[in-house]
Structure 1
Amino acid sequence: MNSIYEFLKNLQEQNSLKKCQLLVVNDDLQAQMASDIVSFLGFKPFVLSDFRANFGDDLLSFSTELQEITKVLNEYYSYKKEDKILISPLRTISFPLPKEKCFDSFEISFADTINIEELKSKLYNWGYYFVDIVTSEAEASIRGDIIDICPLGSDSGYRISLFDDEVESIRKFDIEDQKSSKEEIDSFKITPAFLALDEQTLEEINEQIEKVESDAFIKDIHSLGFWYLGELGEYLPQKLNSFISQEALDELDEAYVFEEKRVNKDKFLTLPQIYKAKEYQEIAPANIKEFLTFHEGKKVTIISSTEAKVKAFDLDLTNKEINYVFDSFIINVVGNSEVVISLNKEIKKRRKKRIKLVIDELQNGDFVVHEKHGIGQYQGIEPVVVMGAKRDFVVITYAGNDKLLLPVENIDSIDRYVADGNSYAVVDKLGRGSFAKLKEKVKEKLFAIANDIIKIAAARELVNGIKINTDKKILNDFVLTSGFEYTKDQTRSIREIYEDLSSGRVMDRLLSGDVGFGKTEVAMNAILATVLDGYQAIFVCPTTLLASQHFLSMRKRFESFGVKMAKLDGKTSAKEKTSIKNALLNGELQLVVGTHSLLGIKTKNLALVIIDEEHKFGVKQKEKLKELREDVHIFSMSATPIPRTLNLALSKLKGMSSLLTPPKERLGVRTYVKEYSDKLIKEIVLREKRRGGQLFYVHNNIASIEAKKADILELLPNIKVEIIHSKIKPEEAEKIIERFDNKEFDILLATSIVESGLHLPNANSIIIDGADRFGIADLHQLRGRVGRSDKEGFCYYVVEDKKKITNDAIKRLVALESNSYLGSGTALAHQDLEIRGGGNIIGEAQSGHIKQIGYGLYLKMLEDALATLSGELKEQSKTVDIKLAISAYISSDYIYEDRVRLELYRRLSKCQNRDEVYIIEEEMEDRFGKPDTPTKQFLELIIIKILALSKGIKTISSYEMNITFTKADDTKETIKSPSKDDDDIISTTLQYLRK
């Protein structure tokens, strides 16, 4: 940084900064530093992303970087002043980049006339993706007279409402919840999402792409266009006055492999270099006030994002000898005549917002659970004409091809069937009553579990807890020695634990968060507070591998804090075991990390028990740990999120904390979809081996897994492969994982058993065989096995033959590849994981019941049991059977996409009062325009359902002009409508129900 600062400072002083039009640095981090310096010196920086693709790569997995490059180049060329500098990482600038003529923009304004087909064509040519629902930049959706567009670089979308072909209104909308603002705007600008190409140029590029031999799953402008710019591309270091940093030259020498079609390395070596700094040095002063006293007489600049920060550092804002700059720059240098110090911390990269609207991804053939009829297969929504009126029904098939037609207004009585990864649903028989009996059995078990949970919580409530003093300066010092900045979630969770520990009550808290999100770091704060107060702590893990991982990381962290600790597991010798147990009993040891071996251990003054991966322990084992001492604090950790509703039910009984934010050093996982070939597998394995890593290979079929191993070894004879699956004994599996962790072999060939609970930071590539046969949640979870360290992870979804897989599977995989899954995949996967997380709380012993009725229904019943036993009266769910001869459905003319209609049906069926329906109606009008007649009538049908339930009505039916209401006690009342027209039937029914 000091070299770049001195170099640019000298250019500025010579009034010749425009000599440097392009600054070549080595990576994103240095680019950000250079950008701060350029801005600080009064010039305009434009920073390109670090684009680390190899020529010919499928670019869908680099879509974020490509969009960023497009956006920055567009801004760079649009900015007409001379005070601009383009800053680029080495790898990005080594490719020919699009010329200025590839960039353009156009505006859409109020009262413009729009030709839909022309607009569609232009957006496609400019690199926009067409989707059902716009959830991120560079996406567009055209639904009749409503057009949604989110231009590249925009935080919000723009919703255009047309009257015929004229723009009637333009409003911004929130891409998280799809709601538009009330204020109308006059116009907005659209810039290219890839390049502003005309029809002919696009065709020429597409023709080139068609001829190319590539393993890209779909060969089009989005996946390969960048490689075939031809005359549209130029090598910028030849065009602009360029300088290169020393660090970028080091990268050239050490790690840079130039492939064919990439610019020759010598061309970089001929660029003018940024010399080593002679005058300026980088600084990191611990005490700024004291540091400044050593540099009196120099020009001092303090950079801070706020005045409050200046005050927090005890600096005087009125001191005229200090030049205060209020901005977000981070520059810390000292020279012969000046000092520049920044009070700011590094700003995290903006993460993609998680979409709040979960789009229902029920595929035909998916298993669902009906709360009365059990497990069946969803076969879509079908319109059925009953008594001359058209209605939509959900079709579910059961054993023996029996069909259930479920009215869409009652779709809330079914849930997606989710069990553990290896379970395959068994469909039930319709009308046998066997499912009701099964539910009754499960209910009994659940009441017993809920009763235990409540009894334990109540008993612990009566005991006084050990008070731990958590207000010590040394605890803050511990946080500072972590070497990274805690996430907000970590800081909040530590605060919640400290409140529990110091309250005088017995703590029982569960912390949920993905592996690598920093749960152990949170636990270590609790351990240190306990130990410093003179008490002991034990940390229990389900496997020796996890115990070893935790022991090593804790020993390192606690080294300078004098914590006396040991490890106790199945591998500990008998002699060591005795020694550790004695040391615990006489108080010589403050912390022991171990496995089940710690159950029933005797201690001197134990105050804290931490249970890692707590769902791997049975209820009895957990109780044994609580029996170690009646006032012991219990802190459990789990790697799966807990559903919000269960969280609420349980939070009355135990403390709940969660980590939802990944640490900032975690890199994303680069995802590819590929068709299987021996060459591809060889390339993936050797690429990972070249960077010293290991791989997971997921082959989800135990019967053919040995044959798959033979195939891999034939292909790569020098590679070591081991197999793991559910039929291998746990002790043996543990040994295999441990050997993998010790880097004794290269590939762990496994079934989907590896999808959770493993933290193997050296395994950073995963191949998923037959990816089209996995559900979205499993694919998402498997992808999470890699990219757990500071190394970039690679995930390959491999299919056998792309011609044989369904369009839906292609769409799902390709969208996962570009990391958006049309905005809904991650949310849906998270929903599945939440449900599983809820199942995990109960322990694995219950998996049999879960398999029979699915997690969703199981958790609903557990919540009910907890609520009932806690004295909260939950109303029994009632249904009303509506057989009105009216056409009421969300029409496909109004909303074309089935999955969006399905989700609206689900949301409307769950409404419990009229206001909720009106809010959804307003949202529908906002997103899709005014509802047509059948849609409007369906919304009124939902109001009828809500009113009927509140009046205790069981069925409503109509014949000709007669409308009959049957009450809960089977009494009937019939009224007459003025005619048999739909609107008369509806208004007469509503009048009766509103009485």
Structure 2
Amino acid sequence: MRNDFLKEIPVVNDFFESLANKKYNTLVLDTTSDFNIMLIASTFIERNEQIIVVAPNIYKAQQLYDSLIEILGVNSVSFFPADEFVTVEMLASSNEFRTSRINTIIDIIEEKRKIIVTHTLGYLRYELPKNKWIKNKLIINRNTVITKNDFVRKLISFGYKREYQVEKPGDVSVRGYIVDIWTYSDENPVRIEFFDDEIEQIRSFNPTTQRTISKINEVKIYPLFELFYDEDEKRDLVNIVKEKVPSSQRVLDEIEKIENNADLDRMHRYIQFLEHVSLSDYFDEKIVFLSNPKRIKDTYESVINDITEWYLTIEGEYSNLQFTFFSDLNLKIAEDHRVIYFQNVLTSDYKYDHVFRIPSNDVIEYHGNIKMFVNDITKAKETVIIQGSKAVYSLLDDEEIKYRRVGKEDDIKKNRINVINESNGLSFRLFGEVFYVSVNKLFHRTKKKKKHFKLKEAIKLKSVDEIKINDYVVHYDYGIGRYLGIKTVELSGIKNDYIHIGYRNDEVLYVPVENVHLIQKYSASEGARPKINSIGGTSWARTKAKVRKKLKDIAGKLIKLYAERKEAKGYPFPKDDEDQFRFEADFEYKETPDQLKAIEEIKGDMERESPMDRLLCGDVGYGKTEVAMRAAFKSVYATKQVAYLCPTTVLSKQHFKTFKSRFSQYGIKVELLNRFVPLRTQNEIVKDVAKGKVDILIGTHRILSKDIVFKDLGLLIVDEEQRFGVEHKERIKEIKVNVDVITLTATPIPRTLQMALMGVKSTSLLETPPENRYPVQTYVLKENDTVVKDAIERELARGGQVFFLYNKVSDIGRVANKVQRLVPEARVTFAHGQMSREELDSTMNDFIDKVYDVLVCTTIIETGIDIPNANTLIITSADRLGLAQLYQIRGRVGRSDKIAYAYLMYNKYDLLSERAEKRLEVIKEFTELGSGFKIAMRDLSIRGAGDVLGAEQSGFIDTVGIDLYMQMLDEEIKLQQGTEVSRPKPVKQSPIKVSKHIPEDYVDDQAIKIEIHKKIKQIKNNRNIEDLINEMKDRYGKIPNHLIDFMHKSLFDKYASMFDIDLIDNNKSEMVIRFSRLMSDNLNGEKLLFAAFEVDRDLTLKYKNNRITVSLNKKSDKKEPLKIFNQFFEKIV
């Protein structure tokens, strides 16, 4: 970052010099927020000291954090957030906020110098002192002496959770002598390999592939809670609390949790009874910037009032504890020397040793007015510094303006126009000194938003094959039963594993592990309970026949439609040009890899002669609209019109606004048609569409009317086609005939469906979440009017809106009135699915237009709306909603640059069922990798399959499970296309005996055992064996020899079946195989001889009785006959 020009300004240079006195407080007057950010960043560069920046509230802190990262990079800035109202601090906690705070504390302890951005309550919040964190830090290296079991116990006490495999921070997985762990502070998870009580090796590994990245020397592990203590401290804490409140059951329950180290993330309020400090106490020397001290003070006083009010609402002796969570603001500021106050009015609230007046102004928005911009920079009396880009250089050259391109080593020339190679989005003007301007001000762009939260890379959802005891499973031949575990049977001294499945009437089936491919976990809609089959009955065969019959019809229709589409003649669009590149460069976000792939696929389709028919599938907010807009731009710039069909007036209005904003500067005319558009305007639009004056027409089913005639339609975009009626779908089919079509859906589809449809329907999946998404702060708590009131008031205070979900139509009006009484200043309305269409559309449009602040609604908001200004969600009776519903509904918030909040509440008088409690906990911990997310996505993908194949298919899917259903669909499509169906052929088992058993001391997790058995079954060549051996060594440690033999036997049996081996004799001195007569006639003898010679000189070939025999002389015990024969077979394939 260039800041040398600031030091040339006398008053700014004086400010930097004043910081050398470590006891001076400084007031900086008359500055703008952008200049303040530049001054903070410059101070960080100039002074090798710790800097803390305090904003009044979390929203302002987040903006500061984003801006500083744009200038200094993510490795130079930390975020230290805290919940902003006391009721939540008392009743629940935010995982994401806690993670961010702990990461900041770890950075402090590891002496990573960063700017720490916080806000009033983060600055004052109680934390354990630095020495406590250092004392509880666990450093693991090659010299550490600790048993595996002691190590795992320590991790569990730190708050780590045991999982099947490590996929997200906070996970730990144990397999044999290996422990995998992902700490909050490490970029990748770590694998630690034990040998007795010694550590043999430490490696980082890739969470997606689970394979090693590199060896590392050590790993530092910290607690995942902010509240921890030794036994003496725990005893003192318990005694103090019991003395203050001897008989409160609520407190006694919480004390029991503290004694058992349970639920510590919710017990932070008890920190006041331990030694505690505030954030700035972690540093001996620091500089504290207070951004708008008056508002910081107001925020603090408001919180003190909230605490006082809260104590009046709580009952009984609980109030005797008089919880406090924060340091006193005035005392804290007095303790922190070198406080810099940014404000625009001189007040007597605080004492200042220095006052610096640095008059600065914001730069105006030019909105593309090049003439005004050129006039300002050419007539400026200041040194002009412009952040460079291709557009800026092009503009300056076109206007024949003299300017200097300033490199990193070049000086900025005073009173000249300097263009620097930076882009941080800041703009300010210090009259007579500097005119510093960003390209954003000229072209009204927002800067490309990057991921700023310290979250791990978003990883695509993998299939959920983790089978647990008592899960439903599907056997291809025997049907649905319950998985009862892996049973090991020993015969003649050889142990083999069998998959144990329970069926009706206590029937059991033991499936040899070599047939593991016939078994799948039963996955269906959430809550679906399958019918367990009987082994000897015919019901399963009838079920499969019924499903297959339906799939035959579906496959036939899909193939017919695809063939017709291929025969049709469309318009081949030209390749991209400079205008297309410019339009795409204007996108304000960084594209996800999935978006780029989908864009490439769609453009490829558009440039072909046959008309495109592509399904674009991705969650709301994953970037479908941008993909569609790029296709629309390509169509319009080829002089073709675009129609965008939406299922609701609300969506049509939202898309119209988005398109209008994005296309306005390109001279593209976008119009809207729905029943809210006045009739006279509609008639004018219809005429303009026919004349070709409208480039993009967005609307509801109104645009399907017969009076709508396009002059030259090139692209039809259909949003959520499944939501249209039969009549409208028929009209869509008519329009589709010769134009390119993109169908958008927000419901995910299974990847297996995409694979099955390959060759009959083009699909693009957007599965990677956008990087700029801030995690939604999710709280699970009992219904509480105070929390509702505070949550709504906080959202309204930052100019936002609130969804209040109450899923009973009968008294939703009463609940809306109650919300209105709780927050009288809020404008409250309600909406539900039983309203007339006109009334519902009118209410939703009013909410979008900010006529109302709070929408009390049913689950109608689950799909089809995008309201970025609504960033607080309150759900009542959340325990009665399914995971998929909760996931979808929570996705309605967190769609802007503001941190979003979701409060999942359950009835305080209801006893939560274990299943409901688990569901709420799962959603609270929802991450892109969490098990709850996978379950929700599986349920949604089944809905998605129904949307693509027909809604009635959901019932058929539930009868056999999604995986078998997709397998059968794939088989049916291939059969009708005349393609070979790739069902594994039965493999003849050779008489060679090897143990097919995975020992408990190697892997003790059932799901992992099944995964290993599946991988052994999937072995197709010697390279697969080598890869699997390396993977298993990496993930589980040294492999038992008999498992390597099992791998070789699995491959040998496949080759023996392939080459029709009719004799196998394996004795002490030799191993002999014989090809069948027919196979012997077809083999190339010369090729066999060369193969034998290359693989092993002890291989001998004979030809006798019209059959070829190959024998291996076992001269040495070290000979591995199965491996040798597999190498031989591979040579002759």
TM over 0.5: yes
SS of aligned partner of 2:199: strand
Give the conservation status (yes or no) of the 8 Å contact 1:110–1:169. Answer: yes
- Does structure 1 residue 609 correspond to structure 2 residue 716? yes
Indicate the residue corresponding to 2:520 in structure 1.
415
Indicate the residue corresponding to 1:274 in structure 2.
342
Give the 3 Å change call, closer, same or farther, for CA 243–809 of structure 1 in structure 2.
Answer: same
Give the 3 Å change call, closer, same or farther, for CA 263–392 of structure 1 in structure 2.
Answer: same
SS of aligned partner of 1:603: coil
Give the conservation status (yes or no) of the 8 Å contact 1:617–1:844. Answer: no
* Distance apart, 1:513 and its partner CA: 1.4
Q: Distance in 1 between matches of 2:1012 and 2:404?
A: 56
Q: Distance in 2 between matches of 1:111 and 1:708?
A: 66
Give the conservation status (yes or no) of the 8 Å contact 1:157–1:175. Answer: yes
Give the 3 Å change call, closer, same or farther, for CA 368–503 of structure 1 in structure 2.
Answer: same
Q: Distance in 1 between matches of 2:633 and 2:69?
A: 41
Give the conservation status (yes or no) of the 8 Å contact 2:448–2:590. Answer: no
SS of aligned partner of 2:342: coil
Indicate the residue corresponding to 1:925 in structure 2.
1033
* Distance apart, 1:365 and its partner CA: 4.9
SS of aligned partner of 2:105: helix
Letter in 2 for 1:163: F
Give the conservation status (yes or no) of the 8 Å contact 1:31–1:89. Answer: no
Which of 74, 81, 90 is equivalent to 1:50?
81
**1:148-184 Cα shifts (integer Å, max 9, x gaps):** 3334421123322222222222222223322124x54
Q: Distance in 1 between matches of 2:81 and 2:723?
A: 41
Letter in 1 for 2:295: D
Q: What is the number of equivalent residue pairs in this alignment?
A: 956
Q: Distance in 2 between matches of 1:783 and 1:950?
A: 53
Comparing 168-177 with 617-626, which one deviates more in the overlay? 617-626
Give the conservation status (yes or no) of the 8 Å contact 2:175–2:1036. Answer: yes
Comparing 641-650 with 739-748, which one deviates more in the overlay? 739-748
- Does structure 1 residue 11 correspond to structure 2 residue 15? yes
**1:899-940 Cα shifts (integer Å, max 9, x gaps):** 433444444445555543543343222222224577667656
Indicate the residue corresponding to 1:980 in structure 2.
none
Q: How does 1:433-512 map to 2 (within 5 A)?
A: 433-468=538-573, 471=576, 489-490=594-595, 493-494=598-599, 496-512=601-617
**1:807-841 Cα shifts (integer Å, max 9, x gaps):** x8766753542345975443454455445434432
Letter in 2 for 1:165: D
Q: How does 1:531-680 map to 2 (within 5 A)?
A: 531-555=636-660, 557-558=662-663, 567-568=672-673, 584-585=689-690, 587=692, 589-599=694-704, 601=706, 602-616=709-723, 624-628=731-735, 630-653=737-760, 655-663=762-770, 666-674=773-781, 677=782, 679-680=783-784
Give the conservation status (yes or no) of the 8 Å contact 1:127–1:195. Answer: no
Q: How does 1:520-535 map to 2 (within 5 A)?
A: 520-535=625-640
SS of aligned partner of 1:369: strand
**1:673-704 Cα shifts (integer Å, max 9, x gaps):** 44xx4x437734773476354446476xxxxx
Q: How does 1:16-95 map to 2 (within 5 A)?
A: 16=20, 18=22, 22-26=52-56, 27-33=61-67, 47-52=78-83, 54-55=85-86, 57=89, 62-79=94-111, 86-95=116-125
Give the 3 Å change call, closer, same or farther, for CA 781–204 of structure 1 in structure 2.
Answer: farther
SS of aligned partner of 1:641: coil
Q: How does 1:192-271 map to 2 (within 5 A)?
A: 193-194=224-225, 199-200=230-231, 203-204=234-235, 207=238, 211=251, 219-225=262-268, 228=271, 230-236=273-279, 243-247=288-292, 249-250=294-295, 253=298, 257-258=303-304, 259-260=306-307, 261=324, 262-264=326-328
Q: Distance in 2 between matches of 1:694 and 1:536?
A: 38
- Does structure 1 residue 383 correspond to structure 2 residue 387? no
Indicate the residue corresponding to 1:518 in structure 2.
623
Letter in 1 for 2:179: I
Indicate the residue corresponding to 1:348 in structure 2.
451
Q: Distance in 2 between matches of 1:380 and 1:882?
A: 25
Letter in 2 for 1:527: A
- Does structure 1 residue 691 correspond to structure 2 residue 795? yes
Letter in 2 for 1:453: L
Q: Distance in 1 between matches of 2:692 and 2:434?
A: 56
* Distance apart, 1:886 and its partner CA: 6.8
Q: Distance in 2 between matches of 1:964 and 1:572?
A: 82
Give the 3 Å change call, closer, same or farther, for CA 857–233 of structure 1 in structure 2.
Answer: same
Comparing 194-203 with 69-78, which one deviates more in the overlay? 194-203
SS of aligned partner of 1:547: helix
* Distance apart, 1:90 and its partner CA: 2.8
Give the conservation status (yes or no) of the 8 Å contact 2:52–2:280. Answer: yes
Comparing 171-180 with 284-293, which one deviates more in the overlay? 284-293
Identity value in percent: 25
Give the conservation status (yes or no) of the 8 Å contact 1:543–1:734. Answer: no
Q: Distance in 1 between matches of 2:490 and 2:157?
A: 46
Q: Distance in 1 between matches of 2:587 and 2:194?
A: 56
SS of aligned partner of 1:315: strand
Q: How does 1:353-368 map to 2 (within 5 A)?
A: 353-354=457-458, 360-368=465-473
* Distance apart, 1:93 and its partner CA: 0.6
**1:212-265 Cα shifts (integer Å, max 9, x gaps):** 777999953333247515443223568866644344643654796444323456
Q: Distance in 2 between matches of 1:64 and 1:159?
A: 25
- Does structure 1 residue 767 correspond to structure 2 residue 801? no
Give the 3 Å change call, closer, same or farther, for CA 223–854 of structure 1 in structure 2.
Answer: same
Comparing 376-385 with 550-559, which one deviates more in the overlay? 550-559
SS of aligned partner of 2:405: coil
5+ residue gaps, structure 1, are 700-704, 970-974, 976-982
Indicate the residue corresponding to 2:979 in structure 1.
872
Q: Distance in 1 between matches of 2:296 and 2:404?
A: 41
* Distance apart, 1:722 and its partner CA: 7.0
Give the 3 Å change call, closer, same or farther, for CA 205–273 of structure 1 in structure 2.
Answer: farther
Letter in 2 for 1:371: Y
Give the 3 Å change call, closer, same or farther, for CA 687–111 of structure 1 in structure 2.
Answer: closer
Q: Distance in 1 between matches of 2:265 and 2:232?
A: 15
SS of aligned partner of 1:98: coil
Indicate the residue corresponding to 2:999 in structure 1.
891
SS of aligned partner of 1:274: strand
**1:774-816 Cα shifts (integer Å, max 9, x gaps):** 45x555444334434455130527488998755x876675354
Which of 405, 408, 419 is equivalent to 1:315?
405
Give the 3 Å change call, closer, same or farther, for CA 457–568 of structure 1 in structure 2.
Answer: same
Give the conservation status (yes or no) of the 8 Å contact 1:626–1:632. Answer: no
- Does structure 1 residue 916 correspond to structure 2 residue 916? no
Indicate the residue corresponding to 1:978 in structure 2.
none
CA RMSD of aligned residues (A): 5.5
Give the 3 Å change call, closer, same or farther, for CA 265–318 of structure 1 in structure 2.
Answer: closer
Give the 3 Å change call, closer, same or farther, for CA 591–180 of structure 1 in structure 2.
Answer: closer
Letter in 2 for 1:51: A
Q: How does 1:804-843 map to 2 (within 5 A)?
A: 805-806=913-914, 813-814=920-921, 816-820=923-927, 823-827=930-934, 829-831=936-938, 833-834=940-941, 836-843=943-950
Give the 3 Å change call, closer, same or farther, for CA 291–170 of structure 1 in structure 2.
Answer: farther
- Does structure 1 residue 173 correspond to structure 2 residue 205? yes
Greater Rg by CA: 2
* Distance apart, 1:514 and its partner CA: 0.8
**1:178-201 Cα shifts (integer Å, max 9, x gaps):** 2124x5444444455446966336
Q: Distance in 2 between matches of 1:297 and 1:551?
A: 42
Q: Distance in 2 between matches of 1:244 and 1:628?
A: 62
Indicate the residue corresponding to 1:97 in structure 2.
127
* Distance apart, 1:878 and its partner CA: 3.1
Indicate the residue corresponding to 2:961 in structure 1.
854
Give the conservation status (yes or no) of the 8 Å contact 2:516–2:1017. Answer: yes
**1:10-35 Cα shifts (integer Å, max 9, x gaps):** 43233527558543234033145457
Q: Distance in 2 between matches of 1:956 and 1:824?
A: 47
Letter in 2 for 1:94: L
Letter in 2 for 1:446: L
* Distance apart, 1:994 and its partner CA: 8.2
Indicate the residue corresponding to 2:442 in structure 1.
none
Q: Distance in 1 between matches of 2:863 and 2:500?
A: 34
Normalised TM-score (structure 1): 0.78
- Does structure 1 residue 135 correspond to structure 2 residue 167? yes
